[in-house]
Chain A
Amino acid sequence: MAPGRKGRIIRRTIVIALVVAASLTMEITGFLATPGELRREVSWTTLHAIVPLVFAACAGVAWAIGPSRLPARLMVIFPLVWIPLSFLRVIEHVAWLWPFVYGVHLWWAVLTGILVLLYPRGRLIDGVDRWIAGIALVTSVGYLLGVLLLGQPSAAVCDCTVNPYLVADAPGVFAIIDVGYRAIGVLLAIVIAVRLLVRWVRGSVPARTVAFLMPIALIAWVITLAIQAAAYASGGADLVLDTVSLVAIASIPVSFVAGIAHARNMRARVADLMRITREGADRGLWAESLARTLRDASVRVYWWDEERAGYADASGEPLDDSPAARRSDHGLLPVSSPTGMPIAVIRHDRVLTDNMRLLDGVSSALRLSVDNGRLRSEIERTLEQVRQSRARILEAGDEARRRIERDLHDGAQQHLVSLGMRLRLAANQARDRGVEPLGVELDGTILMLNQALKELRELAHGIHPSLLSSGGLALAVPELAGRCPVPVEIDVQAEGRLPEVVESTAYFVVSEALANVAKHAQATRGWVRAVLVDGELELVVRDNGVGGASADGSGMLGIADRVDAVGGRFRLDSEPGAGTTITIRIPLGRFTST
């Protein structure tokens, strides 16, 4: 929790308590200051006192969950301007103060109207809203000025001292301002009510069901306001109408808070859908979650089937796209990928069509889900292609080495051997003819040739050990171990021949590992074991040397790469002082045996 949160809550609680206290003080002192015969009924006064309490309470909630702070601030200011006319009697002799209080005693209505305009997003959405709010504010300031310069309430309201700011005693003009201000207020309230109604009618069913209070409250208030304005002009009051008006006003912040709470809930459910999407839900679960999110059990998701070039649901039932089905009370929401490829069609209750924001969220989630899945499978496919091509490159490399060795064997080596033979014949002939020096010369040439043959033999063996081709691991590994300067114990139990690429990989691993044993391990013994376990070749090369081999060394990396390329696993255990053990496992299933 943020450190400031607790302090903020305390601060807000104090502010709310202060405005509530101020409001109740005005209410009670006003009630007590009014002479008994002029007092309103206790029940009405109580109700009047409760209205700001409701606003203050809703301010607390709106502060916690609202989309912005403005509505909560308006609600918390409301109790301060919810000034009962009776309060004027308390300050009727404070000449400098009462004109100001009288001038703002109707501002609560402006706050309420703006609050309604802010619903549900917490800000003014378009220019019309801003115009309405601007007109309301300007006329309110004008009214305050009018009161200051011209105002003098009737004796029925208060026994006020003379307005010190009065510039002219013109009760007629003031009455026009007084009535005109209220008339503009009523007009604006009607406009706001109409806008709200339009929005409400266009809203989605779930939104409407929860937020129906707001328009009703507003309409009730507008009607009572209009009647009251008329009654004010004619100078009368009706208890029932007044009571309805108070209830209507009190229900506005409640509607506001209920509305944003509902929207929050809806967002939370779309967020749930996103979460499910991110976790890679299957299609059945996704459709189920969607139905829950939309509160529409009849929701069906039809996925695009590339093969059939049509939409079908998870159970394979195709989408009924006939005109008759289209005319039903279901709406169809097609969702396609950013590149325009069809993904799915969501069949939903037609009333949901109204809530485009919700459906937008839903289709985004679906798009994300499918894109995720598509990317995942694409990556997997690419990775598999890379694996296969790497294995193919490896096999091609092995094959090339085999071919080079064979070419050397059948070509250069044979030719050189033949050449040696002919040189021998030539040397013999030279001796037969008594040219001994030539014979000696040719003998030397033959020796050099045989040395060259020996080197060529080593080279060819290094390129590809012919013994591996002809005898497999069972012959090639002992031969390899025999070349290692460290004594190596061998246990090759691989019966029969393994796939060529597996044999050459294993041979490479043993060769590299034994080279490490000879060069770095400082070992006195080595062990090579090859066994077939569960359709895999398990090869273990171990030594009793100093250990501490790094998997990042070029030799180890080479082993790991080779093994990885054939889909095998590589493991290095080389604790310092505990020798080195290289374990590899290569599955045989994916290769065709030779």
Chain B
Amino acid sequence: METPERPLRVAIADDALLLREGIAKVLADGGLEVVASVGTGVELLEVAARGGLDAAVLDIRMPPSYRDEGIVALEEMRAQGSTIGVLLLSMYATPEYALRVMGAGSGTGYLLKERVSEPQTLVRAVETVASGGSVVDPEVVEQLVQRTRADDPLSRLTERERSVLELMAQGYSNGGIAQTLFLGLKTVETHVRSILQKLDLEESPEHHRRVLAVLTLLGAR
């Protein structure tokens, strides 16, 4: 963990200049230090290679092919051993991308671009990934939960357990869930154990693995 005195150092990559500047302003207003602002994934990789970064915010669709350059850059950074927090922004909430992002390792996040109009959400997401946590956009989770499957294991969950599961999928820690749902930590832990048992999932020591497992389960039902 960084010391609270030093602000988090963040780099931004987005080919849309307007958004890039807006994001930079939101993050700066949120107390973060934007050290670089570039237009492509390749440029961001160069910035990251110079070191000193705590987190990066990347658009997924960037030049040259406008497909998944942001995720490719993330996977490249992880392959090079970088563990900085990486938050991917996308115009679409695509579960398949969320799974790929979570699959790249800990300290990753996937948010809809329109979350930039909620500065706290964006800043908190950057802080979460920078500290090794996971963030998944609620819209993605909503899509996954709405998918219909035969013999749906989710039908075995209670209403409360369902809400807890959705927050688990968004990357919330047990503490975060307790805070969000106004529950005691113990209660949340009981719910989580019950959910994992009912869904035949194993609790993992690494937080992002839990997110990945839940997302995978939701997607594969």
Residues on A close to B: CB < 8 A? 406, 409-410, 413-418, 420-425, 428, 446, 449-450, 453, 457, 460-461, 466-467, 469-471, 475, 478-479, 482-487, 524-525
Contacts and interface: CB of A to CB of B under 8 A. Distances in A.
Contact of A428 (B19, B114, B119, B144): B119
Interface of B: 15-16, 18-19, 22-23, 25-26, 29, 61, 66-68, 91-96, 113-114, 116-119, 143-144, 147-150, 219
A129 B62 CA distance: 97
Contacts of A461: 92
Nearest to B96: A475
Given A414-B113, A446-B117, 9 more contacts: A406-B66, A417-B116, A423-B117, A457-B93, A466-B91, A467-B94, A471-B96, A487-B148, A525-B150
A421 B92 contact: no
Nearest to A422: B22
A467 B140 CA distance: 14
Contact of A413 (B15, B91, B219): B91
Contact of B150 (A420, A470, A524): A524
Contacts of B67: 469-471
A82 to B, nearest CB: 102
A424 B148 CA distance: 36
Contacts of B16: 410, 414, 418
Contacts of B91: 409, 413-414, 417, 457, 460, 466
Contacts of A479: 94-96
A414 B19 contact: yes
Nearest to B122: A421
A421 B116 contact: yes
A413 B118 CA distance: 16
B148 A485 contact: yes
A485 B148 CA distance: 6
B119 A424 contact: yes
Contact of A409 (B61, B118, B119, B143): B61
B114 A417 contact: yes
Contacts of A482: 95, 143-144, 147, 219
A477 to B, nearest CB: 10
Nearest to B150: A487
Contacts of A414: 16, 18-19, 91, 113
Contacts of A483: 147
A480 to B, nearest CB: 11
B18 A418 contact: yes
B68 A471 contact: yes
Contact of B18 (A415, A423, A457): A415
A470 B97 CA distance: 10
B96 A478 contact: yes
A453 B119 contact: no
A449 B114 CA distance: 9
A483 B93 CA distance: 13
Most chain B Cβ neighbours within 10 Å, of A421, A428, A484: A421
A67 B29 CA distance: 110
Given A470-B67, A471-B68, A475-B96, A418 B19 contact: yes
A519 B67 CA distance: 32
Contacts of A457: 91-93
Given A406-B66, A409-B91, A414-B19, A424 B118 contact: yes
A471 B99 CA distance: 13
A482 B16 CA distance: 31
Nearest to B93: A457
B7 to A, nearest CB: 19
A300 B125 CA distance: 89
Most chain B Cβ neighbours within 10 Å, of A416, A471, A524: A471
Contacts of B95: 479, 482
B114 A418 contact: no
A421 B22 contact: yes
A479 B99 CA distance: 12
Contact of A420 (B25, B116, B148): B116
A450 B114 contact: yes
Contacts of A410: 15-16
Contacts of A525: 150
Contacts of A424: 26, 116-119
Most chain B Cβ neighbours within 10 Å, of A415, A467, A475, A482: A482
A450 B117 contact: yes
Nearest to A458: B92
Contact of B92 (A417, A420, A449, A466): A466
Contacts of A406: 66
A483 B94 CA distance: 12
Contacts of B119: 424, 428
17 contacts: A417-B19, A417-B117, A420-B117, A421-B25, A425-B26, A428-B119, A450-B114, A457-B92, A467-B92, A467-B96, A469-B67, A470-B68, A471-B96, A479-B96, A482-B144, A482-B147, A484-B148
B61 A470 contact: yes
Contacts of B144: 482
A428 B143 CA distance: 31
B83 to A, nearest CB: 26
Nearest to A476: B96
A422 B21 CA distance: 11
A453 B118 CA distance: 14
**Shortest 10 CB-CB contacts between residues of A and residues of B:** A420-B117, A470-B67, A487-B150, A421-B22, A482-B147, A414-B16, A424-B117, A418-B18, A475-B96, A487-B149
Given A420-B117, A457-B91, A482-B95, A466 B19 contact: no
A413 B26 CA distance: 19
Contacts of B117: 417, 420-421, 423-424, 446, 449-450
Nearest to B15: A410
A471 B100 CA distance: 11
A420 B23 CA distance: 11
Most chain A Cβ neighbours within 10 Å, of B96, B118, B149: B96
Contacts of A416: 114
A466 B19 CA distance: 20
Contacts of A415: 18
Contacts of B96: 467, 471, 475, 478-479
Contacts of A449: 117
Nearest to B152: A487
B40 to A, nearest CB: 14
A566 B91 CA distance: 31
A582 B4 CA distance: 61
A453 B114 contact: yes
A123 B62 CA distance: 91
Nearest to A456: B91
Contacts of B15: 410
B61 A418 contact: no
A300 to B, nearest CB: 63
B75 to A, nearest CB: 14
A450 B114 CA distance: 7
Contacts of B19: 414, 417-418, 421
Nearest to B21: A418
